[in-house]
C-alpha cells in the first residue's frame, strides 16, 4: 500500500462506495438509536476489487454501477 495514510484510505473507500451505503437505524439494548456508516451493500468481490484498485491507483478508471453494485470501467468519449 506504500505511503497511503489509513485514514485517507478509509475516506477513499467511503467516498467511492457512498451510494452503496446502507441507510438504517439500529437500537441498542439500552434503547439508544444509531445509524452505522460502515456498512455497504456490494458483493464481496466488488469490495475487494475497489480496495485493490485504490491501492494500485487504477480506481480513477472505474466507477460504480449503482444498478448492479459492481465496478465498471469508465467509458471515455471521444
Residue 78: inside a domain, yes or no? no
Domain assignment of residue 12, yes or no: yes
Query: Domain range spanning residue 45?
Result: 6-73
In a domain, 39, yes or no: yes
DSSP 12-69: HHHHHTGGGB----EE-TTS-EE--SS-B---HHHHHHHHHHHHHTGGGGEEEETTTT
Q: How many structural domains compose the chain?
A: 1
> Does some domain include residue 43?
yes
- Between 3 and 28, the more confident residue is 28
Residue-level pLDDT at 78 = 67
Q: How confident is the model at residue 37 (pLDDT cuts 50, 70, 90)?
A: confident
- Residue 1 in this model has a pLDDT that exceeds 90: no
- Flag whether 45 is in a domain: yes
For residue 2, the model assigns a pLDDT of 59
Amino acid at each position: 500500500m506504500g505511503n497511503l495514510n489509513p485514514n485517507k484510505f478509509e475516506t477513499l473507500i467511503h467516498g467511492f462506495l457512498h451510494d452503496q451505503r446502507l441507510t438504517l437505524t439500529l437500537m441498542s439494548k439500552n434503547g439508544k438509536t444509531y445509524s452505522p456508516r460502515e456498512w455497504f451493500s456490494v458483493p464481496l468481490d466488488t469490495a475487494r476489487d475497489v480496495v485493490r484498485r485504490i491501492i494500485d491507483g487504477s480506481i480513477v478508471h472505474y466507477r460504480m454501477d449503482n444498478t448492479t453494485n459492481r465496478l465498471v470501467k469508465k467509458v471515455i468519449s471521444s
